[in-house]
Amino acid sequence: MKKSMQILFFAALLMAFSGGVFAQSISITQITPSSPANLSHNEEITIHFDYDIAEPGGARIFIRPVTNGSLSPNYAASGSRVYRRSGSSSANFTITSGNVTVDQLRVRLVSANQGELVFEFFVPVDFGFSSPVTTLPGETNNQVPLHVIPDSLGNNTFSTRTDSIPADAEIIKRTLEPDGTVEIYYTGGYIRGLPPDGGEYLYHRRETPPGRNLCQ
């Protein structure tokens, strides 16, 4: 989806008033950033739109993120003033926590008192939200630090970054590191780190490969 375009999506409703026919519509003109995109929690998506409102008392426009047919979990979104006649405006939303993929935007035109849905339509998008990558001591673009973890026999294992932890993984233990980081250990060798300054990192424990130079 291009960053700027005349009309991405358009929805209109013809209504009859006193013998005349009036069209009311919402047309999305730009989405920033453009889709597809990967974002961190609390980064905002802004939707610009044109509107033409024929409701005598005005109407409100709500744009909400959707994931797999339902409102996305952990979303925060802008409200709506009462729109009248025609003009241009914008709305925004974000995801505040969790690994969430927004695959649609739901655009609704409702009455000013929010008691009646006038019409709605959906816009396909692809926005992935997750925790920001936490840079750990010793990490560069070419080197990922490895946690060396002795097992019960004294053999070293190491952990590498992973994108997610399986939903069926169960918590085994929690530890508090000297720097204040909380590390949560899961079945299957997965580790979630929660540094005191925010963010998180995910690791998966594996056997140490021969000859690998480990970063302590």
Q: List, for residues 62-87, the tens digit of each pLDDT value.
A: 999 999 999 999 999 999 999 999 99
What is the pTM (predicted TM-score) of this model?
0.57
What's the confidence (pLDDT) of residue 44? 94
> Percent of the chain at pLDDT above 70?
70
CA–CA–CA angle 84, 87, 88 (5° rounding): 125
Q: Which residue has the higher pLDDT, 192 or 15?
A: 192
DSSP string, 1-34: --SS-S-SEEEEEEEEETTEEEEEEEEEEEEESP
141-153 tens-digit pLDDT: 434 444 444 444 4
What's the confidence (pLDDT) of residue 21? 41
What's the confidence (pLDDT) of residue 56? 86
